[in-house]
Amino acid sequence: MASQEALAAALAAEGVSVTQATLSRDLRALGAVKGAEGYVLPGQVAVPSGDGEVRTAVRTWLTRAQVALNQVVLHTPAGGAQALALVLDRVQPQGLLGTIAGDDTILCVLPHEKGAKAFKRYLEEVAS
């Protein structure tokens, strides 16, 4: 579903009445992630394999990136961090060692500060 409103309407058509607040909590509890095409469950997120997929994921979910020594903190809309981190962990661009994802924030670890700065530049390039 493309939005919570569309999902609520589809549920109503099936005879299930739900408030937006309850729907939002349920989506979060299920681990649903909202991407460009709407909500998907974690097992349904395509695991990409290259820079083209990184480009798509970054353009879909990344809102801001900040360097902190050998780390880069990425910000996404609520629910987007895990999907973006999954892509980055799979492809490991620019020497990325790994990620830790929350709901809307990702901690990316690089081998050194120079690598973190290069990783941020890479993300900015693929985002544009």
Q: For position 63, which CATH number holds?
A: 3.30.1360.40
Q: Domain check: are 69 and 55 in the same one?
A: yes
Read out DSSP for 18-66? --HHHHHHHHHHHT-EEETTEEE-GGGS----SHHHHHHHHHHH--EEE
Residue type, 13: A
Regarding pTM above 0.75, the answer is no
- Calpha distance 103→80 (Å, rounded): 7
User: What range does the domain containing 21 cover?
Assistant: 4-43
Tally of domains within the chain: 2
Look up residue 100 and give its two tokens: 């830790």
Q: What is the pLDDT of residues 68-117, one digit of tens each?
A: 999 999 999 988 899 899 989 988 888 899 999 999 999 999 999 999 99
Residues 6+ apart with CB under 8 A from 118: 94, 95, 110
Q: Domain check: are 53 and 89 in the same one?
A: yes
Q: Domain check: are 21 and 71 in the same one?
A: no
Q: Domain check: are 57 and 103 in the same one?
A: yes
